[in-house]
Amino acid sequence: MGVPLPGVVDSVAQLIQGLVDDPDVLNKYGLTTDEYRSALPGAIEQLRGRQSASVSERKQFLFELLQALVEAGHAERLEKPDYGKDTVYRLTLSGFGDVAIIQKGCPDGVHSSKRWKAPEWARETYLWWLCDSTSSEPGTHVEKGVKRLLGEFFGPRPDTLSGVIFHDRMCGSPNRPCPKSAHALQVGERSVPPPCVYVMPDRDGEANAWNWNGEVQRVFPGTLLQAFGIAPSQASQFIGHIGFQSRQGTIRTTITSRFGTGRATTFRS
């Protein structure tokens, strides 16, 4: 099914608003026109509240997926975030050290792309975007997030990200088909395809290009993909990258997504 067309969304909105003029339909639910009109704003807020309640389900999804790495022997241990603090998972990899995974929502929000801090204990730090919005295609969501991360990368903040991950429980479903579903991992009752991982650049004040061709290598992406049966020798075929380039005073961006041998898409702006 994928992302609904804007015209379809508009039609649904018109339908909801137009019901006030359809007493036959309202009568079936025991409502008068005045009752419907006065209750509509509250009903919309209730639906929003139910959507917000799914945050706990998203947290559980990510915890179970990361815990699967530990249970399969690809990681030593996993520490859950403390209640009331930022949602940062601490995953320990044997022979490497600790990786920070910062749980966020859809990447186009300020909170999800700007309000984060790389822990001092982390050798690598990742934003994990859990986004179940169908307002845009996944690639568009990622591109919006990268626009915000661009300012963070070239800004004054001292910390940087090792990469970003776009993946949630919708991935691999009919609403968000995944070309990597053949490598899906069974997590509980859910069949989970490999996440979309994008390696971020390292800072270098003397450079005019940062990871433009995907030359930066990280440890965690390959470990994560091993849980999905993807061997280290194949991992590069499933790991994307984000790069920046300075040209004539303008910063350009490249985003490459990889999903198998010879299968990749690149967006540049």
Percent of the chain with pLDDT over 70: 88
- Provide mean pLDDT across the span 197-208: 89
pLDDT tens digits, 43-68: 766 555 445 445 667 778 899 999 99
pLDDT tens digits, 164-177: 999 988 888 888 88
Which residue has better confidence, 135 or 216? 216
pLDDT tens digits, 92-126: 999 999 999 999 988 887 777 888 999 999 999 99
Tokens, residue 174: 């009919």
What residue spans of the chain are helical by DSSP H? Answer: 6-18, 23-28, 33-53, 55-71, 110-113, 138-153, 220-226
In the beta sheet, which residues pair with residue 264?
Answer: 258
- Provide mean pLDDT across the span 13-26: 74
- pLDDT value at residue 120: 93
* 162-184 exposure pattern, b = at least 16 Cβ within 10 A, e = fewer: bbbbbbbbbbbbeebebebeebb
pLDDT tens digits, 214-232: 999 999 999 999 999 999 9
What's the whole-model pTM score?
A: 0.78
Give the Cα separation of 133 and 151 in Å (integer): 24
Percent of the chain with pLDDT over 90: 43
In the beta sheet, which residues pair with residue 32?
Answer: none
pLDDT band at 2 (very low <50, low <70, confident <90, very high): very low
pLDDT band at 253 (very low <50, low <70, confident <90, very high): very high
Give the Cα separation of 203 and 159 in Å (integer): 10
